[in-house]
Homo-oligomer: A and B are copies of this chain.
Amino acid sequence: MAVREDRVEELARRRGFLWQAYEIYGGTAGFYDYGPLGARLKRQLEAEWRLFYSLEGFFEIESPTIAPAAVFRASGHLNCFSDLAVVCSRCDSFFRVDDEIVAGGKCPECGGELAGAGEFNLMFQTRIGVPKGKEGANRGEGYLRPETAQGMFVNFQRLLRFNRGKLPFGVIQLGKAYRNEISPRQSLIRLREFTMAEVEVFVDPDEKDSHPGFDTVRDRRIWLNPAEGEECETSVGDAVRSGIIANEYLGYHIAKVKEFLERIGIPSDRLRFRQHRKDEMAHYARDCWDAEFMSRRYGWMEIVGIADRGDYDLAAHATYSKVDMGVHTHTQTQTHSKMIPHVIEPSYGLDRIIYAIMESAFTEEQVGKETRKVLRLIPELAPVKAAVFPLLNREELKQKAKSVFQSLKQELVYVDYDDSGSIGRRYRRQDEIGTPYCVTIDYQTLEDDTVTIRDRDTMEQHRVRIDDLSAAILAGIRNLHV
C-alpha cells in the first residue's frame, strides 16, 4: 500500500511527535524538537535498546558531551573530521560539496557562481572556563563530541577494571552527539544535534574469529552489499566463512543489529547491510558496514554503522596521554606480553531510526469510503498504550470512563481519555498515533462492569471485565517502559 511519504512528516508535526526547533524564531536548520508523543516513543526506543544490549551483558556509562581539545587531537577528529565546502560568490552562502543540490555548479539559493571554500571541521567548538591571561588564547579549547564513543575509550582502563581485568566486554552509551553540518537539509535525516546509541565491544584481536555466541546467529539470513562483488542474500555463517564479513565478532554484531531493527518494527525486506568502500571509510575504521533502510522518500539511508575500529582509538589515546592501554594476554606460556584490544562498534542513529520506524508503521487503508490512517507501531513503542472513551457524551458514562481511565493509568501510565466528537473520530485519532487498544464504556458497562477493547490493527472488538482490563492490555505488550 504505497503512501505519499511527506504525510509521515506531516502527521509527526501535526500530532506532536516532532517538528523543527525554534519555529517562533524562524526555525534553525539541523535542530528538531520531540513533542509529547515523539519523546515517549524515543524514551521507549531507548529503553528497548538498553534492554537488548544489557541482556548481552554489556554495561552502560554516561560521559560528558563537552570534551577538551586533547581528546579530539588524539582521536583524529581535529584533523580528519571535516567536509569540503563551496561558497556562492554572489550571496556568500556555503554548501557541502557532496550535496546533490550543488551538483549543478550554481548556488541553489540565488543561482550565483560557486567557488571552492576549503575544508570545515564538523565539530562545534566552545571554550571551557575563562580564557586565562594574554597567552591563553588556546587554553580551555573544547568541542562538543561528534560521537559518544570517545567517552568509552578514554575510560578504558577503569572499565576494564570494573570487568575485573577480563576481555571481551561491551560498553554502551546513549546520548547527544553533534556535527556542525555545513548545509543540513530541513529534516530529521541530517541533524546538527542528534542522539546516538553506541556499543563498543573490546576484544582480544586474536579472538575476533571466534565469538562465543556465534552459533546463535550463524544461520540467520542477511542481505549484503559488499564493497567488492555482488549484492547477495546469504547466511551470517556463510558470509564470515567466505570472507565477505571479516570475522565472527563483526558478523555476530551485524546479526544483532538486524535482530534489534526487526524487533522495533522495521521490516527485513527494507533492510540491507552495505560495506563502505575504502575511500568513504571514517579515519578510524578498518572495515565498516552500514545497516541501510529503504525509505520511500529518501531511498537507501544509513541508520546504523557497524565498524571494526581495530586498535586505532586505544592506541591513539595511549600515545597522546602516555597512559598504558594494554591488556595482559592470557597465554599458556605465562609470558606477560600485552596487547591493545580491538573494538567492534555498532553505532545507532536514533533520530533516523525513529523516522524509519514511523515510515514503516504508517499505512493508509480504505475502510468503506474512508481512508484510515494507522501507525502500526509495536505496542512497546506506542506513545499511548490505551485510550478510554465513553460511548456517548452522557454524564453517567463519562464518570465511569474517567474512573476506568484513572485506574488504568496507575498501571499503564500512558493512557488517554477522550470524550470529544463521534466514537469513529476518536478511533481515528488514536489509530493515527498508534494506540494499540481503545476501551469503550457503554450502558452495558454500568450493568455488568464489562467494557469493549478494540484492537488497532484488526479493528475487532471484544468485551472484557474491568477487573481483567489491564491484564488483557498488558498481554499484548512485552515490555512496559516508563
Contact = CB atoms under 8 A, between A and B. Distances in A.
A64 B21 contact: yes
Contacts of A24: 154, 157, 317, 321, 323
Interface string A53-86: 0110001111111111011000000000000010
Contacts of A40: 59-60
A425 interface: no
Contacts of A427: none
Chain A interface, >50% SS class: mixed
A469 interface: no
A22 B482 contact: no
Interface string A3-44: 000000000000010010111110011111111101110110
Contacts of A85: 130
A437 interface: no
A420 B46 CA distance: 34
Interface string A139-180: 000001000000100110111011010000001000010101
B25 A43 contact: no
Given A16-B162, A50-B482, A323-B24, A33 B414 contact: no
Nearest to A130: B94
A42 B414 CA distance: 22
A320 B22 CA distance: 13
Nearest to A83: B130
A392 interface: no
A42 B22 contact: no
Contacts of A47: 482
A125 interface: yes
Contacts of A193: 64-66
Contacts of A134: 92
A182 interface: yes
Contacts of A192: 66, 128-129
A158 to B, nearest CB: 7
Contacts of A93: 132
29 contacts: A24-B154, A25-B70, A28-B67, A29-B129, A31-B66, A32-B64, A33-B61, A33-B155, A34-B62, A34-B63, A36-B61, A36-B171, A39-B60, A40-B59, A51-B413, A55-B413, A65-B65, A65-B176, A65-B193, A66-B124, A66-B178, A66-B192, A92-B136, A94-B129, A120-B130, A124-B127, A125-B126, A127-B180, A481-B482
Interface of A: 16, 19, 21-25, 28-36, 38-40, 42-43, 47, 50-51, 54-55, 59-68, 70-71, 85, 92-94, 117, 120, 124-130, 132-134, 136, 144, 151, 154-155, 157-159, 161-162, 164, 171, 176, 178, 180-183, 192-193, 317, 320-321, 323, 409-410, 413-414, 420, 479, 481-482
